Every structure is written in C-alpha cells, then in structure tokens.
Amino acid sequence: MSGENILKTYKQLHISQEYNSFIPINVDSKYINTYVILFQAIRLSALLHDVGHPLFSHVTEFALKDVWKIINEINKENRTERQEKYID
C-alpha cells in the first residue's frame, strides 16, 4: 500500500469517545486522527522503554552512583575484590 493510501485510510478512521479527554481543544478536527496515532505511539514507546528495565531501576540509578562515589574514595590498596569489580 502506498503512503498516500495509508494516509487516506487513517483519515477515515473513527476515533471513539474515550479519546476525547486526551485530545486538546485546540487540535483542528482534520488533525485529530493524526494526534491520536501519535499519542498512542508515544504511550507505546514509554511502555517499551520500561520493558527493558528491572523494577524501580530509575530510582536505584541514583543509589548506585552514590555507592560508586563512596567506593571510589577508598584507597585502591584497601578495596576488596568485590569493590574493585564494582568500580570497573
């Protein structure tokens, strides 16, 4: 299917009432289908982004940086093997 035919198909889609609360009032009616498609693409992107992370991973990033700073301040000769691996 050519790009032009795909756009015609999208323009003919009926948007259900449940999306009305997500569509800003300043979106022109001829762009509502495009807006809903982009809205759903962004939602899907956010979900797929989170699939690649363990639970609470964004929160733990800060804690891990703090641990790295603390271990990095320890003199290299006094670090345990585990601490060295963490720094590496």
**Which pTM does this prediction carry?**
0.48
At 15-64, the pLDDT tens digits run 666 667 788 889 888 888 888 888 889 989 988 887 877 777 777 888 88
HEC string for the chain: CCHHHHHHHHHHCCCCHHHCCCCCCCCCHHHHHHHHHHHHHHHHHHHHHHHCCCCCHHHHHHHHHHHHHHHHHCCHHHCCHHHHHHHC
Question: Does residue 6 have a pLDDT over 80?
Answer: no
Mean pLDDT of 62-83: 90
